[in-house]
Structure 1
Amino acid sequence: MENMLVGDNARPFHVVTPVLESIALSQAAGTKVYMKLENVQPTGSFKIRGIGYFCQQVARNGCKHLVCSSGGNAGLAATYAARKLGIPITVVVPRSTSQLTVKRLEEQGAEVEVFGQAWDEANKRAMDLAEADGWVSVHPFDHPLVWKGHSTLVKELKDSLDAKPGAIVLAVGGGGLLSGVVSGLQEVGWLDVPIIAVETRGADSFNQALQAGRLVTLPEITSVATCLGAKTVAQRALDCASEWPIISHVLDDVEAVKAIEQFLDDERILVEAACGAPLAFLYSGYLQQLQEERHLGQPLDSVVLIVCGGSAIQMEILQAMKSRLGME
């Protein structure tokens, strides 16, 4: 285990990520698109921002053992942070988790336990372990410290861009990124920048909660975008919708997977299906549709796409998703 001082001046575990203009996405969306490349974070996704920050704070308070429920990016972020802090970690993953992810978690030093069919069941198991053994549970998306860590992304946008964007496009799984971005926008004073929150059908717990006006638990996750697969979003995500201009959009798995391939061709970057959802929103002309329906301003100076990344992707996994969706 690699020990690190956790004084007040400890450096964060995330890196400042590039903001690049995408010509291909700009042409598709009919407006200038900037990509915030969270895929280049140390663990491959934005998750290290919030989870790294959470782990540093609990380490200061004397945490002796971490436990995290995650079939992917959150678990990798927590494991990375635990290794840097010299704290042991147990990661509980659902059976839907790929062997690739389990192997990566173990290589980083996590003790991995497989439990339950979906993330929600793995999370209950993690909570039980935390309670029984006095461990600190790292929630993948539902904690104020996690949102605070994610909010740093917006400060970086403000430092990088000449002017505030006309909208921010992002994926919603459990709602941690959404909650963090809203917090960040409030902090930097970009109070009228709408957020377009994109999900895939079969993992659309945020959209269903908005329609119902309360939290909704999906019976199961049927989307291939398993990293968007929280059957219930965080209450904070739903609260954000009443205090911020958020447009919820749901699209099909096939669109998300096509967008992954298009993005690989255009930008030479391979992302997972969760990240394919907001990409598909821009590639498929939905931005223009919202403008025509007057849900968004016209014209927009620019749009920021958060390329949330994702580690659970390889060419083999992409091919398997295409086969499952009959896209051969």
Structure 2
Amino acid sequence: MPLHINTPLLESRPLSLAAGRSIWLKMDALQPPGSFKIRGIGAACEHHAKAGKRRFVSSSGGNAGIAVAYAGRRLGMPVSVFVPETATELAKALIRQEGAEVIVHGASWQEANERAMSALDADTAFIHPFDDPLLWTGHATMIDEVVAEGLSFDAVALSVGGGGLMSGIVEGLARNSLAHIPIIAVETEGAASLADAMEAGQRVQLPAITSIATSLGARIVSERAFEVTQTQSVDSVVVSDHAAVEACLRFLDDHRVLVEPACGATLALAYSHMDALSRYNRVLMIACGGATASLAQLQAWHTA
């Protein structure tokens, strides 16, 4: 039995009316740890457990760390998650709630990741938050489920941080003979490392992450994610933090589900960036979720 669940596929009447076209939601915000991350991370953890590893180490300021902690608890494996100083108290509490150890190190994810790598030994598996083929294969199950339900769609909209979700969706499309379907890759201003890479024609590193959507806060996208932009049809869209937060609040009213700004960035396409969808009739949106933003925090951001 996999660690993730098959999530609902919903036609969103509110988003469809707002966007002027049919919007379908893959509701991975309803995964047990709160985000899509458990699909790939769960698959990776199960792989390493079967290979004889006895401990998991990860580096994440949020959803990936929560997913590793959840997988470790379910598999009976100890977990250590290295988080940067910018990790929220809520994120740390949710990781600890799953029984994992939290180690705070460094000003950014890169520094926390370097410290995590130094904590490995022969019995320990490192679970990367986004850059691992095991993760991509797990994330691809989203498309398997959509296809199994018989839905046809002419674009997939998703949020991009390090690029693990996009890499997985592309793999899922390919294995279901849908490689021709375009991707709409959404980022927030201040975390748009994919958009910058596409403009430059090569991967570039952002000097800093200034977006509140810290789950999208990879200063450089994975090599695989950039490769996808060279071989697939990928539309890059960058939205403001305000648009992402407002989308989260509207989505809460429309669907009674709380997501964080990293997910709100994609939802903002329907609410405020409809032009980005103008070429498509039926769009599959990945409601990727996110557990590290509270309602109070969203409201504070919205009024700031």
Q: How does the TM-score come out when normalised to structure 2?
A: 0.97
Matched with 2:220 is: 232
Aligned to 2:299: 319
Instruction: Answer yes or no: is 1:74 the counterpart of 2:64.
Output: yes
Q: 2:202, 2:179 → 1: CA distance? A: 25
Deviation at 1:290, TM superposition (A): 5.3
**1:275: which partner in 2?**
263
1:51 equivalenced with 2:31 (yes/no): no
Q: Distance in 2 between matches of 1:87 and 1:316?
A: 33
Q: 2:202 aligns with which of 191, 214, 218?
A: 214
Q: What root-mean-square deviation, in Å, do the aligned CA atoms of Structure 1 and Structure 2 show?
A: 1.3
1:62 corresponds in structure 2 to: 52
Work out the CA distance in 1 between the residues paired with 2:6 and 2:277.
Answer: 31
Runs (5+) with no aligned partner, structure 1: 1-10
**Distance apart, 1:322 and its partner CA:** 2.5
Matched, 1:249 2:237: yes
CA offsets 1:269-298 (integer angstroms, 9 cap, x no match): 111000010011111133x3553xxxx35x
* Structure 2 partner of 1:261: 249
Q: Does 1:41 align with 2:41?
A: no
Q: Deviations over 1:99-145 (max 9, x none)?
A: 111112112111100111221211111112126x7522100000000
Is the 2:56–2:124 Cα contact (8 Å) retained in structure 1?
A: yes
Match of residue 160 from structure 2: 172
2:6 counterpart (13, 16, 23):
16
- How far off its partner does 1:98 sit? 1.2
Which of structure 1's runs of 4+ aligned residues deviate more than 6 A? none
Question: How far, CA to CA, are the matches of 1:78 and 1:289 in structure 2?
Answer: 34
Q: What corresponds to 2:284 in structure 1? A: 304
Match status 1:198 vs 2:186:
yes
* Cα shift at 1:216: 1.0
Identity of aligned residues (%): 46
Secondary structure of 1:130's partner? Answer: coil
- CA–CA distance in 2 between the matches of 1:219 and 1:150? 29
Secondary structure, counterpart of 1:129 in structure 2:
coil
Q: CA 1:209–1:289 in structure 2 vs 1: closer, same or farther (change >3 Å)?
A: closer
Corresponding position of 1:138: 127
**Residue in 2 aligned with 1:3?**
none
2: CA distance, partners of 1:104 / 1:201: 27
Match in the other structure for 1:84: 74
Equivalent-residue separation in structure 1 for 2:273 and 2:302 (angstroms)? 22
Please say if residues 150 and 177 of structure 1, whose CA atoms lie closer than 8 Å, have aligned partners that are also in contact.
yes
**AA in 2 matched with 1:152:** T
State the one-letter code of the partner of 2:242. Answer: V
Whole-Å Cα distance in 1 between the matches of residues 18 and 276 of structure 2? 12
Equivalenced residue count is 304
Measured at CA, do residues 109 and 49 of structure 1 come closer, stay the same or move farther in structure 2, by a change above 3 Å? same
Q: Aligned partners of 2:198, 2:123: CA distance in 1, in Å?
A: 36
Contact between 2:53 and 2:123, CA under 8 Å: does it hold in 1?
Answer: no
Paired residues of 1:118 and 1:221 also in contact (CA < 8 A): no
| Maintained 8 Å contact 2:66/2:95 | yes
State the SS of the aligned residue for 1:250: strand
Quote how far apart the aligned CAs of 1:161 are.
Answer: 3.2
* Secondary structure, counterpart of 2:218 in structure 1: coil
Corresponding residue number in structure 2 for 1:118: 108
Hey, what does 1:7 align to over in structure 2? none
Distance in 2 (CA, whole Å) between partners of 1:66 and 1:289 is 40
Give the Cα separation in 1 of the matches to 2:248 and 2:75. Answer: 34
Is this contact kept in 2: 1:28–1:285, CA < 8 A? no
- Residues in 2 aligned to 1:235 and 1:125: alpha-carbon distance in whole angstroms: 22
CA distance 1:34–1:290, shift in 2 (3 Å): closer
Instruction: Point out where structure 2 has 5 or more consecutive residues left out of the alignment.
Output: none
Letter in 2 for 1:222: T
How far residue 50 of structure 1 moved from its aligned partner, in angstroms, is 0.1
- Please state how far the C-alpha of 1:231 moved relative to its aligned partner: 0.8
Q: Give CA-to-partner distance per residue, 1:21-73, whole Å, 9 cap, x none.
A: 11110011111111100011010100000000000001111112111001111
Q: CA separation in 2, counterparts of 1:102 and 1:161?
A: 39
Counterpart residue type for residue 197 of structure 1: A
When normalised by structure 1's length, the TM-score is 0.90
